[in-house]
Amino acid sequence: MALRIVIDVLIAIGAIFALAGTIGLLKMPDTFSRMQASTCISTMGVIGVALGALLYAIFIMNSASTAIKIAVIALLIITVNPIGAHTIAKGAYRAGIRPEKRMETDDYGRDLEDE
Amino acid sequence: MTDILIFSVAFACLAVINLYRLIKGPTGADRMVAGDAADALLCCAMILFSIFSGRGVYLDIAIISALLGIIDTMLVGRYLQGRRR
Amino acid sequence: MQKTRFPAVLSTFVLCFAFWILLTWSFEIQELAAGAVVSLAAALFAARFFIHEKSFRLVHPRRFFSLLAYVFVFLGELIKANLDMARRCFGGCRDINPGIVKVPVDLPDGYAQAMLANSITLTPGTITLDIAEEDGKSYYYIHWIDVSETDREKAGDAIKGRMEKWIGRIWK
């Protein structure tokens, strides 16, 4: 029973961070800040859910293949997500997307103009 | 048992809420970020539904979905990088 | 284009085959043979993009254990940054001050730089946009959600934290 409570708490932590990321994605004022908020979902949300599901698969279902697949999915999402985030942030900046309110410090824009 | 089902449905609902940004988002990058986030959330929902129902098929679908999600994110990112003003 | 060397193919093959075993999780001879053929083909094509130089560098006790220790260091930073980001999101998304700062890195190796850039992107609140090289030193352009330091060195300390030291220890 204690194990079930631990599993529920882990999944609830993941759900709370996913909710925070969703709120940020809907309400943040500009494109780059929305990207920052969406990182919350794919790190802490996925880690919480995957840890909970991993404990469930190991101790309650007793199935090794399920546990390994869950771990592979979590590792895949976590290791591969920053590459996509980096590519799309650079692409957005290079395509001329700027926040409405001008950023105070913008070293990248200054160096791009020099080229 | 039902608590896991409830969490799974909650994650799917969060993914549906993210679709608002995907439909409305002013720029292409916004849409792509929202699609990526919805993809991760749907993977979570599928993991939870798989351990609820005890069927392994959903895990395979989640793996394929995660792999394809990163590929299309990178495609859109490279496309945006090439289009300079 | 660089020529594909044997150790690169071998290390990529080992990685692909381990991944195949993890995914199928059955040890019949037919499945293993099919996996070997598929991962050999994948390794032959992908080795030149994937692991090319010094393929078996991580097979070394000190590096391997510092990689394991780095996972926990990184988890600590991740949880701290996540709590901060969640506070901003629940607080109505008003409390932000976004900007792009340029931060110096002193890691010599390409893999180490890529790993640090990915770690920075993975912590919520910072995204690495680009890497530039100017007279021998490397710089990251980092989009930061709350610019509290505009000075490069101090901003670098605030963003990178303990991660840079540990990554330097792994790839030394």
The rounded distance, in Å, linking the Cα atoms of B3 and B52 is 9
The rounded distance, in Å, linking the Cα atoms of A63 and C146 is 44
> Is A16 inside a domain boundary?
yes
In contact, A10 and A55? CB cutoff 8 Å? yes
Interface test with A, best of C70, C78, C82 (most A CBs within 10 A): C82
Residue C2 has pLDDT above 70, yes or no: no
> Is A109 inside a domain boundary?
no
> Is A81 inside a domain boundary?
yes
> Is A36 inside a domain boundary?
yes
Print pLDDT tens along chain B (85 aa). Answer: 788 899 999 999 999 998 888 898 788 888 888 988 898 899 999 999 999 998 888 888 998 888 888 888 888 888 888 755 4
List % helix, strand, coil for chain B (3-state, nearest 5). Answer: 90, 0, 10
The rounded distance, in Å, linking the Cα atoms of B80 and B28 is 9
Domain count of the fold of chain C: 2
Q: What is the pLDDT of residue A90?
A: 87
> Is C55 inside a domain boundary?
no
- The label of the residue with tokens 């599928």 reads B46
In contact, A13 and C82? CB cutoff 8 Å? no
The rounded distance, in Å, linking the Cα atoms of C123 and C109 is 22
Domain check: are C72 and C136 in the same one? yes
- For C106-155, write each residue's pLDDT tens digit: 887 778 888 888 888 888 888 888 888 887 788 888 888 888 777 777 87
Going by pLDDT thresholds of 50, 70 and 90, the confidence category of residue C33 is very high
In contact, A46 and B40? CB cutoff 8 Å? yes
Average pLDDT on C35-42 reads: 92
Tell if the CB–CB gap between A82 and C124 is shorter than 8 Å: no
C154 vs chain A: nearest CA distance in angstroms?
Answer: 15
Q: What is the pLDDT of residue A100?
A: 72
The rounded distance, in Å, linking the Cα atoms of C138 and C161 is 17
Contacts of C68 (CB under 8 A, 6+ apart): none
Q: Structural domain of residue C26, as residue ranges?
A: 6-50
Domain count of the fold of chain A: 1
- Domain spans, chain B: 2-82
Q: What is the pLDDT of residue A41?
A: 86
Of C97, C102, C121, the CB nearest to A107: C102
> Is A112 inside a domain boundary?
no
Residue C156: burial class (beta carbons within 10 Å; 0-12, 13-18, 19+): buried
In contact, C167 and C112? CB cutoff 8 Å? yes
Of B11, B20, B73, the CB nearest to A18: B11
Q: What is the dihedral of CA A39, A79, C80, A56, to 10 degrees?
A: 100
Concatenated DSSP letters of C55-104: TTTT-SHHHHHHHHHHHHHHHHHHHHHHHHHHHHHHTTS-S-B-EEEEEE
Domain check: are C139 and C94 in the same one? yes
Q: Structural domain of residue A73, as residue ranges?
A: 2-97
- Average pLDDT of chain C, as a whole number: 83
Domain check: are C93 and C161 in the same one? yes
> Is C59 inside a domain boundary?
no
Complex-level ipTM: 0.86
- Does pTM top 0.90 for this prediction? no
Domain check: are C75 and C154 in the same one? yes
> Is C103 inside a domain boundary?
yes
Q: What are the beta bridge partners of residue C102?
A: C141
Supply angle C-alpha C17, A57, C69, rounded to 5.
Answer: 60
Interface test with C, best of A10, A35, A36 (most C CBs within 10 A): A36
Residue scoring higher pLDDT (A6 or C155): A6
10 Å Cβ neighbour count for A84?
A: 24
